[in-house]
Amino acid sequence: MRGETMPKNQVFHTRTALAEGLKELFKQLEERLSLRSPIDVYLAGGMAVYLYTASRVTTDVDAEFGSRVFIPNDLIVDLTLEDGTRESLYFDTNYNSSFALMHEDYLDDAILLDLGVELIRLHVLSPLDLAVSKIARFADNDKEDIAELVRLGLTSSDEIEQRATQALDGYVGGLAMLRLNLRDAVALARQVEANGHDFGRHPDE
């Protein structure tokens, strides 16, 4: 069922320098595209994870657009993080959701986030679908993101296993490696759960 596993009152971390930079990036995109009617944008990747967790800083924005758009290559927002680090935020124009493991309902179950950009309706992939999307590549930062989403109670090992198994039905090729990654992702999530959601936390947290 659409939205069945999604939190009803999801809290996003929008009052940070990175989130403000994301808002400015979409505002500039709105202006550069000279939009006259709203378009839907679906946020994935590390930036989406950040909005849920405020943990790992990333500067490339993975976004899927509900309409065909041209993203200017020079669309970059410079910002200063809370610790004084300077970063540049930009759209990853090579992002393609077809290369990730995605459940067929991932767009329907994305959560609407009002960033205050009038003609861009921003939807953030659900924590569960973000975790599943990390399985195909399963690099160190993907493992970190899965662990953080589980640690915060935003998704669970059982949900990930079920959703990813369903998503495999629509995936073509490389299933053996995906199944191994899924096994390891579920094991990671269960380790986090077994440790009382403390996996990966620093001693001073």
pLDDT of residue 119: 97
Short-list 158, 96, 172, CA closest to 133: 96
Residue 193: CB partners within 8 Å, gap ≥ 6?
Answer: 150, 156, 157
pLDDT under 70: residue ranges of the chain: 1-9, 197-205
pLDDT of residue 1: 34
- CA 5 to chain centroid, in Å, comes to 16
At 144-166, the pLDDT tens digits run 999 999 999 999 999 999 999 99
Q: In the numeric block, which tokens belong to residue 131? A: 């975790």
User: pTM value?
Assistant: 0.90
Short-list 188, 193, 190, 197, CA closest to 144: 188
- Rounded CA-CA distance 106/3 in Å is 10
pLDDT of residue 203: 32
Beta bridge partners of 96: none
- Rounded CA-CA distance 181/204 in Å is 31
At 30-50, the pLDDT tens digits run 999 999 999 999 999 999 999
